[in-house]
Homo-oligomer: A and B are copies of this chain.
Amino acid sequence: MFVSAIAFVEGTPKVQQIVEAFSQAIESGEWAPGSKLPSVRELTLTLGVSKFTLNEALDRLRGRHLLTSSQGRGYFVAMDCPRPASVTWVDLLPQDLLSVLRRPLVTAGGELRPGGGHLPEDWLNGEAIRQAMRSVVRAPSLRIAGLGTPAGLLPLRQALQQKLHGEGLSVPVEQIITTPNTVQGLDMLMRLLARPGDTVLLDAPCYFNFHANLALHGVKVITIERRPDGFDFNALEHLLAEHRPSLYLTTSVLHNPTGHSFSPSQAFRLLQLTQQYHCHIVEDDLYGDLHPNPPPRLAAVAGLDQVTYLSGFSKILSANTRVSYVVAAPQLAANLTNMKLMSGGVTSELFEQIVYRMLSEGSYAKHRKRMVQRLMEAGGRVEQWLKRCGCELPMAYEGGMFIWARLPPGVNGELLAQEALKRSMVLAPGALFGYDPAHRDSMRFNVAHSDEPRVQRVFEALLLRGVAQSTPPAGT
């Protein structure tokens, strides 16, 4: 059992925030039933709260029957709090520890975020976004009533059509469908493309939510190692021949977490093989716009009968400006539009208007250009720093947000991340990105967040103090 620091919100009693965080951890199964909480003293230190505050929170949790306490022996997670019905999610985790490490990655928790999946607030062009919001709010074209257009706001889809054309993917606007975010776009596509029992191929390592989402669709998942040279293509052909996956879900350019992009020749061999074995590709292109000189996308090379394309703006504009989009073959695009209505995956015209303005008025292009440049510079520095730390970098850095580093020999990434959380630093150990032990000695670094002296000092201190070599405490 591991208790992480809480990023307390102003204006809410800390007691309540502790109760919420602990309830979450218990009810989500992060803290195993029966496991013992750290001592009150340790907890007050970890959370930075008074003994009084902590005890009040613990009492309330006892009142909810989430905790039990026995005189002198401390507090325990109640035995009879059932595992979540969505065990899929919980069962996916090699161990509870991983969900503890994952949570801060998907929440605002953590002060230093070298493991984070987004750009820092001060890198984003908040002013341009606020400006776009202001003009949208002013505009009479903003319809307050109504659900907007099922396929997505037409002017936005036309702007996307132009953007895609510039990237070598020319499609009728009818085949461009907006979705609220990329995970939901993927989720709706899987509902249309994957049938329970199908086999789906993933990269190892890959974005952890790919595993989590596929678990919802009752498909069998197989993985192939993503390497600097793409794959071991013989291994790929063997997998395709033996398991006959109906889908391959991948991030083609600036792959999360490795930063790898398929070269044209790698893409060609991949497309040849998947076509030969009737394996449809779902191409996630969430990071491509961060590449200084992106290689052709798979969809642009092979067309939409073989590749369905997904992208969005959460990484470059804002995770809170929820507009992503899917580019698909005509029938699939029509089905996706119906799926949006049936599953509530409709997009907000307000956000569509905001993104439309930023695309059509050029502020997106300007901002993107700045991001690409700034990332290249930070990436170069972080590469050097990681090497000085004794890390090996299997992939040459070619831009974007992520560097995938092999930690110095003997360093345990999960323990390192665990210790880092106590210093409210969020790391992304390799184990989060797949179950292949081969990733456990690696770690994903966000170059924007890692290019900070404070981050580097804390990380170096952790390495030096050798905490990571220590063996994990039993029962985590």
Residues of A at under 8 Å CB distance from B?
A: 9, 11-12, 16-17, 19-20, 23-24, 27-28, 64, 66, 81-91, 93-94, 103, 106-108, 118-121, 124, 126, 129-130, 133-134, 137-138, 142-151, 154-155, 158, 172-174, 179-187, 191-193, 195-198, 209, 212-213, 215-216, 318-322, 330-335, 337-339, 341-346, 348-351
Contacts and interface: CB of A to CB of B under 8 A. Distances in A.
Given A85-B332, A183-B342, A321-B350, 17 more contacts: A12-B158, A23-B174, A24-B174, A81-B331, A82-B196, A84-B331, A86-B342, A89-B338, A90-B339, A108-B146, A108-B147, A119-B145, A142-B320, A147-B319, A182-B344, A209-B342, A212-B341
A129 B130 CA distance: 16
Nearest to A121: B145
Tell me how many chains of this kind the complex includes: 2
A183 B333 CA distance: 21
Contacts of A338: 28, 84, 86, 89-90, 93
A119 B196 CA distance: 40
Nearest to A117: B147
19 contacts: A20-B151, A24-B174, A28-B337, A82-B196, A85-B335, A86-B191, A87-B192, A107-B147, A120-B145, A126-B144, A134-B134, A144-B321, A148-B319, A182-B344, A184-B344, A186-B344, A212-B341, A215-B342, A348-B348
B137 A106 contact: no
A12 B106 contact: no
Contacts of A9: 154-155
Nearest to A347: B322
B351 A184 contact: no
Contact of A20 (B64, B174, B319): B174
Contacts of A186: 344
Contacts of A130: 137-138, 142
Contacts of A158: 12
A6 to B, nearest CB: 12
Contact of A349 (B81, B90, B150, B320): B320
B320 A143 contact: yes
A69 to B, nearest CB: 19
B196 A350 contact: no
B185 A320 contact: no
B335 A322 contact: no
Contacts of A138: 130
A459 B27 CA distance: 55
Contacts of A351: 348
Contacts of A143: 108, 121, 320
Nearest to A80: B197
Contact of A108 (B149, B198, B215): B149
A212 B331 contact: no
B93 A187 contact: no
A320 B350 contact: yes
A133 B107 CA distance: 23
Nearest to A119: B145
Nearest to A108: B146
Given A144-B126, A173-B16, A335-B90, A213 B343 contact: yes
Contacts of A23: 174, 330, 334
A469 to B, nearest CB: 32
A134 B344 CA distance: 27
A60 B39 CA distance: 67
Contact of A84 (B17, B85, B180, B334): B334
Contacts of A342: 86, 88-90, 183, 209, 212-213, 215-216
